[in-house]
Structure 1
Amino acid sequence: MLRKFLVFVMLLACLSVFHVPATAQGDDTLVEGLNGPRGMAYDADGNLYVAEAGTGGTVVAGNAELGNGSVGGTSQITMVAPDGTQSVVVAGLPSLSTGPEGLGAVHMIVTSDSLWLVLNEGLPMLPFADSVIELDRATGRMKNFIDLYAYEQDNNPDGTDEIYSNPTDIALAGDGTLYIVDTGANTLYTWTEADGLQVFKSWGDDPVPTAIDFGPDGSIYVGFLGTGIAPGAAHVDQLDETGEVVQSFGDLSAVTDIAVMDDGTVYAVQMLQFGEQGPAPESGSVVALSADGATPVAEGLNFPYGLEETPDGNLVVSVNAAFTDPGTGAVQLITLGDM
């Protein structure tokens, strides 16, 4: 089984054939000037937090699996207040860049007293790679460190020959249990301070889980990139409390994030579509899922990634999340009332 990161390396090779411009932003743009914006979250006061993967840093020697790359403290968490004021609330997070695609902070949860951060894969010298960390919002000090790579190394829950961790998303259940998607390990974990990491569900057929959210009834929704990022291979599954599939929404492409609204409507980000020359710019979309299939609510997006419900029941999506120039990342508003 090839590392999922290498799939993105192949995407980069395809994209290097032609220039990938950043999509021009319109009046629906809430935030601009970001570096690799990924997952997002709102706090109780309506502040929007955006994980920026960053641009790497100092050039380092090549790595057999990841190739040449640069590392540095350019990943960060940016907060946007309801009045549009923008500030960096966590700076200096580790970032790996192998070109126009950066790796670093990828998702977060904001509670009244904590900021939970997901830091995805990186070179061995990159501190805190493959982990989830809990920071105290008042002091910025670390409260918990969850080492996903160490668990994968010791337990290898998907049973493949490959030892590989790449956490990408988290969600907090009503009882305080943290759910963690490890894309590289093909595993959904639970975590509590009392029990530590536990395998909730693992997939041995490499479907590449990427995203998680809870429905209003407490059911679990998981989004999948799909093996090899093949067109139509992505899907979103609704799971019950035991991990059994209740229903599945299929025939999707490159799902990177999902959002389940208070009314139960499920939305998904499709990062890209494939054309004759490979991954096509401005081919990403956000779709509403139902038994009848996928209905687009936003199309023509340039490499979107994260999706989040706004306090007033609309959606925000991060765009130019990868494969574009530094500083071109943005967050756009999708007003559902206009659909």
Structure 2
Amino acid sequence: MSGVRIGRRLLAAATGGVAALAVTAGPVTAARADGGAPEVVAKGLDSPRGISFGPGGALYIAESGHGGKVKCAMTPAKKAEKMCFGLTGRISVLKDGKTSVLVDGLPSAASGPFALGPHDVAFTPKGDLLVTIGFSGDTAFRAKLGPKARTLGTLLTLSTKGRRLSFADLAAHETRHNPDRKDKGSAVDSYPFGLAPLPGGGALVTDTGGNSVLRVDRKGRVSTEAVLHARSVAAPPALKMPKGSKIPMQSVPMGIAKGPDGAYYVAEHGGFPNPEGAARVLRLKDGKVTTAARGFTTVADVTFDAKGRLIVLGSAGPLPANGMSKTTVYRVEGDGTRTELLKPGTLTTPLGVAVGPDGAVYVADKAMAPGKGEILRIPVSE
């Protein structure tokens, strides 16, 4: 997985008992839940990505911004694009029906409507903010965007007043180690995305570009927790390769959440060509990766409801010809049944999901429409 163009396509596409999940096999029947119509509870957001409920029941929103005019550079790709850096990223809060900006002036880099900036937000055990800052590339390209861009591709720890307490350089780790370097098509490309706080401090962070899950300890030291290796899949007809040809499909980890069993669950989006049913939810425990749920075509994010059931932001069925998956929200029941909580096609480009204290499911939508992003509330009746 490498490059801004691939990252843009990825974001455009994206988008019971836990023990039972670990043995879920194959595509499962989707049932419709009898929930109410989705309601827009926040709008006018600037490229909203990860969302998380915090103290007092408020919803915290990572907004990747829209880049800026601090400095621009051409991306190191065959079809280079201009990426411009600015300080338009922010963390907003939705509380009592009103949205306000908690922290602004965070790094953001954009190529057209595709923004890289704050991608996820969560809380440390002490109540400080953890924020992943997206990127797409290596440290050499980052340097071309100027000294103020050095926190792209990092995990920031911030006070709730916005004071930077520490940062961990995930892009530097990818540049030095390239954990998936043995996979065909691997490139040095760091794209910190989802995060899950660790009980003793620090966090697990998915690197969408590096196809890995990284561990950041409470002192900011980075290590590789797991590598999600590429898989071999049938070449799509559009490539006009000989019949029976195989190509590597990148794993592409996105969202991550801690499950009620203490393991961590990773949304595996699946890279090009996104074959039907190939995307999975992976279970990560003590560095070992197993499959928790399968049968999806794309998976962008995961979380759990109050009953410990897995909530998946993803798509099922064949990918449409335009490459834009009809991402929706599913609940995986204890027996493996996949319950559809929202009609496919309702969402545009959703990238974050969370379950509120009220039991409703919240989704960050229109992630690639700067200034037009929304938070949708999906009531759930059971």
Contact 2:282 2:289 survives alignment (8 Å)? no
Give the alignment partner of residue 282 of structure 2, picking from 233, 237, 262. 237
Which residue, out of 246, 251, 265, partners 1:207?
251
Bigger mean CA offset, 181-190 vs 168-177 = 168-177
The counterpart of 1:189, out of the listed 189, 214, 220, is 214
Between structures 1 and 2, the one with greater strand share = 1
Contact 2:52 / 2:121 at 8 angstroms: preserved in 1? Answer: yes
Specify the alignment match of 1:332 in structure 2: 376
Q: 1:229 to 1:99 in 2, by over 3 A?
A: farther
State the secondary structure of the residue aligned to 1:176. coil
TM-score by length of 2: 0.76
For the residue of structure 2 that corresponds to 1:275, the secondary structure is: coil
Determine helix, strand or coil for the equivalent of 1:222. strand
Shift of 1:172: 1.4
Quote the RMSD (CA, aligned, Å). 2.6
**C-alpha distance in 1, partners of 2:219/2:107?**
28
3-state SS, counterpart of residue 70 of structure 1: strand
Distance 2:171 2:115 in 1: 19
Q: Distance in 1 between matches of 2:105 and 2:220?
A: 31
1:133 aligned onto 2:179: no
- 1:250-329 aligned within 5 A: 250-270=294-314, 274-279=319-324, 283-290=326-333, 292-299=336-343, 300-322=346-368, 324=369, 326-329=370-373
CA gap 1:176/1:238 in 2 versus in 1, 3 angstroms: same
- Alignment check: 8 A CA contact 1:271 1:304 kept: no
**Match runs of 1:116-131 below 5 Å:** 116-122=130-136, 124=142, 125=145, 126-131=149-154
Identity of aligned residues (%): 27
- CA distance 1:5–1:105, change in 2 (3 Å): same
Larger Rg: 2
Task: Choose between structure 1 and 2 for higher RCO, CA contacts under 8 A separated by at least 6 residues.
Answer: 2
Partners of 1:86 and 1:45 lie apart in 2 by 15
Q: Return the alpha-carbon distance in structure 2 between the equivalents of residues 27 and 236 of structure 1.
A: 25
CA distance in 1, matches of 2:197, 2:207: 15
Runs of 5+ unmatched residues, structure 2: 14-36, 231-249
CA distance in 2, matches of 1:229, 1:9: 15
The residue type equivalent to 2:132 in the other structure is V
2:51 is aligned with 1:40: yes
Q: Report the equivalent of 2:170.
A: 148
Query: In the alignment, which residue of structure 2 is the partner of 1:19?
Result: none
Q: Distance in 1 between matches of 2:255 and 2:62?
A: 15
Query: Would the alpha carbon gap of residues 312 and 91 (structure 1) be closer, same or farther in structure 2, given more than 3 Å must change?
Result: same
How many Å separate the matches in 1 of 2:321 and 2:223?
Answer: 43
1:44 aligned partner, one-letter code: P
* Matching residue of 1:74: 88
Q: Give the CA deviation at 1:193.
A: 2.9
Which consecutive residues of structure 1, in runs of 5 or more, have no partner in the other structure? Answer: 15-25
Shift of 1:304: 1.0
Q: What is the SS of the residue equivalent to 1:127?
A: helix
One-letter amino acid matched to 2:181? G
Q: Deviations over 1:285-331 (max 9, x none)?
A: 01112453532111321111100111222211011112x3x322100
Structure 1 letter corresponding to 2:363:
V
Read off the aligned partner of 2:285 and give its amino acid letter: D
Whether the aligned pair in 1 keeps the contact of 2:3 and 2:189 (CA below 8 Å) is no
Corresponding residue of 2:60: 49
